Amino acid sequence: MKKKAKVIALFLVLAMTLSLVGCSSNNPTAGTQSPSSSTNNDTSNQTEKPEEIVLKFTYKQAASNDLLEKWLEEKKVIERFEAENPGIKIELTPISSSEGDYATLLALKLSSETTAPDIFMEDTYMTATDAAAGYLACLDDYVANWDEWSHYLDGTKEAVKGTDGKIYGIPISTDSRGIFYNYKVFRDAGIPTPWQPTNWEEILDAARKIKAHDPSIEPFYMIVGKQNGEGVSMQTFEMLLYGTGDQLYENGKWVVKSKGLSDTFKFIEQVYKTEKLGVSLDVALASDVGAQVNKGLADGTIGMYLAVATTAGNWTSTGSYPVENLEQVIGFAAMPTQYGGDPATITMCGGWSWAISSHCKYKDEAFKFLAFCGNKENATWRSLYDGRMSPRDDSTDIEEYAMRPYIKEMTAYMANAYVRPKHESYAMVSTQIQTIVEELVSTDMTAEQAAEEYKSRVISVVGNENTLTK
């Protein structure tokens, strides 16, 4: 145990050292100062620069019809940036993978100077972990001199902070979550619309009515396949858990036993095993489950889907499965808390960010690209393409954004929003959640056993001294 403690201590010291290196001051260049005025000790931007600087840009590439690539191409984002910044070229280096695999593959790339991209997209749940590991460049000096930063919502700024309180990314999006449902499926099953459940039992009751009316329709989809990574943790598990009144992390400790945890596992078990109200496991655990469910909800072969608001982007005119008169075909209800009351609804909020690798040799130029992508026009249109909420407070000035589907609902649901624990161990805990949830629905594991496994596995990764039971 002593040897293990020494190893852990050494790792933490190394991580902190790398983090400080990543936070070495770099001179902000976005509209206020030039790179040549830098007076800091970071030599990465003081070396002689080539006539043409090539910045590698990594992002998660969808299996088909990638919405980020559509935005880049149709809005000529890179073409316009390169025209405004002669001598800087952007090279796309996408990672084609599931959401869960993307975080792992990206971390592997970031860990080495030879493989790390210069600029990349990152789910903000990884920000604290990657910053602590020294993978991310600190952006404090840049944003301090970037006028556009004042237009970013406070919550989105919090999402890109490390445990040290420093900024490590530029928000791309924020989001809320709820239940998308097909109006025709509900009406045919005798369920009044518009629909707003007031507790978990009303969700189950709607699913039962759909199943009874037409067994060929799969009533309800919650993400349960671990290949979907944070989708399992945030959009299923935490949306349920935080609706019970309990949380993952309280009073500086990881909660490993609570009634809320038990009830969360029981609800998942009830949907997928006890009453078989969920989509089939052939679909739920498929690598292309997102495409299947998005199409199924649009054509009425699936009744409802607990999802992030960005899902709506798949059904807009620029999406993968365009639906005419979208808001008359698919509704978007708030996720109720377990028993209703106050608060009556719950949403987890998160989002993605643009970040710069600590290994990037040309951070000034890299930030120019981040600032360009994050200006009012580009940031707003990025949100329009993927259906997410813009991180900026002035995006509603752009008519297309103000008129987008579900924008009122998305905004209203943020009133009862929670964020994931801002702790470097969250990624490890989240991985345990994803694995256990898939095991619960696909093996003979019971909800009670899942709760015990959760306790055991979380203790194993964070240490018993960092946990509590309720």
- pLDDT of 267-304, one tens digit each? 999 999 999 999 999 999 999 999 999 999 999 999 99
- Assess contact for 307 and 315: CB atoms under 8 A: no
- The predicted pLDDT at position 34 comes to 39
Q: Measured between alpha carbons, how far is 112 from 293 in angstroms, rounded to an integer?
A: 37
Mean pLDDT of 18-42: 40
- Tracing tokens 């936070």 back to the chain, one arrives at 23
Where is 254: in which H helix or E strand? Answer: strand 253-257
Q: Which two tokens stand for residue 8?
A: 């852990």
- Assess contact for 140 and 295: CB atoms under 8 A: no
pTM value > 0.75 = no
All residues at 6 or more sequence positions from 129 whose CB lies less than 8 Å from its CB, including other chains? 424, 425, 426, 427
Q: Of the candidates 270, 283, 306, which has an alpha carbon nearest to the alpha carbon of residue 218? A: 283
Same CATH fold assignment for domains 2-168+352-387 and 177-349+423-469: yes
pLDDT digits (tens, 9 = 90+) for 181-194: 999 999 999 999 99
Which amino acid is located at 52 in the chain? E
Which amino acid is located at 233 in the chain? S
Over 50: is that where the pLDDT of 10 sits?
Answer: no
Q: Which two tokens stand for residue 17?
A: 């050292």
Over 80: is that where the pLDDT of 27 sits?
Answer: no
| Assigned CATH for 177-349+423-469 | 3.40.190.10
Of the ranges 25-29, 204-208, 229-233, 297-301, which one carries the lowest mean pLDDT score?
25-29
| Percentage of the chain modeled with pLDDT above 70 | 90
- The predicted pLDDT at position 47 comes to 59
Q: Measured between alpha carbons, how far is 96 from 468 in angstroms, rounded to an integer?
A: 39
Phi (first) and psi of residue 398, to 5 degrees: -90, 120
Q: Of the candidates 463, 460, 468, which has an alpha carbon nearest to the alpha carbon of residue 431? A: 460
Which amino acid is located at 417 in the chain? A
State the average pLDDT for the chain. 90
Q: Measured between alpha carbons, how far is 78 from 80 in angstroms, rounded to an integer?
A: 5
How buried is residue 192: exposed, middle or buried, by Cβ count under 10 Å (0-12/13-18/19+)?
A: exposed
| Percentage of the chain modeled with pLDDT above 90 | 74
Mean pLDDT of 204-215: 99
Of the ranges 12-26, 92-106, 132-146, 330-344, which one carries the lowest mean pLDDT score?
12-26
Q: Measured between alpha carbons, how far is 286 from 294 in angstroms, rounded to an integer?
A: 13
> Which DSSP string do the residues of 156-217 spell out, in sequence order?
HHHHTB-TTS-B--EE--B--EEEEEEHHHHHHTT--SS---SSHHHHHHHHHHHHHH-TTS
Q: Which CATH architecture has domain 2-168+352-387?
A: 3-Layer(aba) Sandwich (3.40)
**Confidence class of residue 65 from pLDDT cuts 50, 70 and 90?**
confident
pLDDT digits (tens, 9 = 90+) for 73-130: 999 999 999 999 999 999 999 999 987 789 899 999 999 999 999 999 999 989 989 9
Over 80: is that where the pLDDT of 16 sits?
Answer: no
- Tracing tokens 């209703």 back to the chain, one arrives at 340
Where is 61: in which H helix or E strand? Answer: strand 60-61
Where is 469: in which H helix or E strand? Answer: strand 467-469
Mean pLDDT of 316-327: 91
- Laid out side by side, the sheet with 218-221 consists of 218-221, 302-308, 177-182, 330-336, 345-348, 417-418
Q: Measured between alpha carbons, how far is 276 from 273 in angstroms, rounded to an integer?
A: 5
Q: Of the candidates 171, 173, 170, 172, which has an alpha carbon nearest to the alpha carbon of residue 366? A: 170
Query: Quick one: DSSP state of residue 42?
Result: -
- The segment with the largest mean pLDDT, out of 227-231, 316-320, 417-421, is 227-231
- The predicted pLDDT at position 337 comes to 98
3-state secondary structure of 256: strand
- The segment with the largest mean pLDDT, out of 41-55, 137-151, 409-423, is 137-151
Domain boundaries, the chain: 2-168+352-387, 177-349+423-469
pLDDT digits (tens, 9 = 90+) for 235-267: 999 999 999 999 999 999 999 999 999 999 999
